[in-house]
A and B are shown apart, each in its own frame.
Chain A
């Protein structure tokens, strides 16, 4: 899927890539917080 973003530049980012970034980011933040709490 192609989208127009920022002055005509086109992005072809599959949804699963964005979902992976979200889940990985949340998991990393949660793990770091838990490790610091322990």
Chain B
């Protein structure tokens, strides 16, 4: 029976309750759509071609990290180390792919490495930190919040030490090789006159792969099972410890990919690269319906959350809203998304 058929079959008091449930459960989406419409009326350039390409590009850059963190949230955990892993990988990738002959090259005697080799290094770094997160969470029964908070600090310390090495002395790493920047930010398709960067397509491919892993593999089904009820999953024969470890490794791989893309996208990488990226990713995941109580979340929800959040942030910039006020509005959106998630759980129970 569809939603409308169910609604028509009810009496007046039940219809009133159903309308209330619908509006409260979807209140955040209603607010975001209304805000976007209001911003478009206030400033008609908001949804113009160049602006849309900008929004799509920013969303595509944040999508892999959001998909990684969503996996951790589905396991009733979180991952606070995501942003710092992105920063570390971005700086390492940038340092290994600086242009030959660049005056402030970090390792002057090192030639510009092969792009694919550096991509593998980026993924390996992300996977290693992810493995540490997953291993400590699953083997020592520590809450992911504490484990990832610790690895966040360790990774940040490692990044600061790395930036002091070679010729760098703590400076930003820039002067990237044109083959690297062209591979990431170059374009072969445009929307009107605005070129769509290549990393949008890479993000799409990664999203399809993650969708396949989550929905069509035993590992994906085990992830949802462990997130819903780890004890029941264990009794059913699922290796809970291995599943948790692999989810965090997969998340680490996604952060590595994000870092590799981000290094070329922003061009100049420092210790501040990746700062607070995990907060936006967690917010996008929760807005997209990934539940903190575990076992619930879809790839299309994460995509929706990332795009909606990016639309709002770009919209707030279009309104010339004070950057400090944007933090407050962002925090309120996250709070409401978490409250709606909690409400759905309470009503279900």
Where the two chains meet, the residues of A that have a C-beta atom closer than 8 Å to any C-beta of B are 1, 3, 5-7, 13, 15, 18-19, 21-23, 25-26, 28-30, 32-33, 36-37
The 8 closest A-B pairs by CB, nearest first: A25-B336, A29-B332, A36-B321, A21-B339, A18-B343, A22-B339, A25-B332, A26-B31
**Other A-B pairs beyond A3-B345, A13-B346, A22-B24, 12, CB < 8 Å:** A3-B349, A6-B143, A7-B143, A18-B343, A19-B24, A21-B336, A22-B336, A23-B24, A25-B332, A25-B336, A29-B329, A33-B321
The interface residues of chain A lying within 8 Å CB-to-CB of B347 are 15
- Is B27 a contact of A23 with CB atoms below 8 Å? yes
Q: State the Cβ distance, B221 to closest chain A Cβ, in Å.
A: 23
The interface residues of chain A lying within 8 Å CB-to-CB of B316 are 33
The interface residues of chain A lying within 8 Å CB-to-CB of B342 are 13, 18
B1-36 vs A: 1/0 string, CB under 8 Å? 000000000000000000000001001100100010
Q: State the Cβ distance, B336 to closest chain A Cβ, in Å.
A: 4
Within 8 A of A (CB), among B270-319: 293, 316, 319
Tell me whether A32 and B143 are in contact in the complex, defined as CB-CB below 8 angstroms, given that A13-B346, A22-B24 are known contacts: no
Contact of A18 among B38, B325, B339 (CB under 8 A): B339
Tell me whether A15 and B339 are in contact in the complex, defined as CB-CB below 8 angstroms, given that A6-B76, A22-B27, A25-B332 are known contacts: no
- Is B42 a contact of A21 with CB atoms below 8 Å? no
B327-349 vs A: 1/0 string, CB under 8 Å? 01100110110011011011101
Tell me whether A37 and B42 are in contact in the complex, defined as CB-CB below 8 angstroms, given that A18-B346, A19-B24, A29-B333 are known contacts: yes
The interface residues of chain B lying within 8 Å CB-to-CB of A1 are 346, 349
> Nearest B residue to A28 by beta-carbon distance?
B332
Q: State the Cβ distance, B308 to closest chain A Cβ, in Å.
A: 13
The interface residues of chain B lying within 8 Å CB-to-CB of A28 are 332
The interface residues of chain B lying within 8 Å CB-to-CB of A18 are 339, 342-343, 346
The interface residues of chain B lying within 8 Å CB-to-CB of A15 are 343, 346-347
> Nearest A residue to B30 by beta-carbon distance?
A26
The interface residues of chain A lying within 8 Å CB-to-CB of B35 are 30, 33
- Is B336 a contact of A29 with CB atoms below 8 Å? yes
Give the complex CA separation of A6 and B291 in angstroms: 12
- Is B325 a contact of A36 with CB atoms below 8 Å? yes
> Nearest B residue to A3 by beta-carbon distance?
B349
The interface residues of chain B lying within 8 Å CB-to-CB of A5 are 293
Q: State the Cβ distance, B58 to closest chain A Cβ, in Å.
A: 20
Most chain A CB within a 10 A radius of its CB, from B76, B329, B333: B329
Give the complex CA separation of A27 and B322 in angstroms: 19
- Is B346 a contact of A36 with CB atoms below 8 Å? no
The interface residues of chain B lying within 8 Å CB-to-CB of A30 are 31, 35
Tell me whether A22 and B340 are in contact in the complex, defined as CB-CB below 8 angstroms, given that A5-B293, A6-B76, A37-B319 are known contacts: yes
The interface residues of chain A lying within 8 Å CB-to-CB of B345 are 3
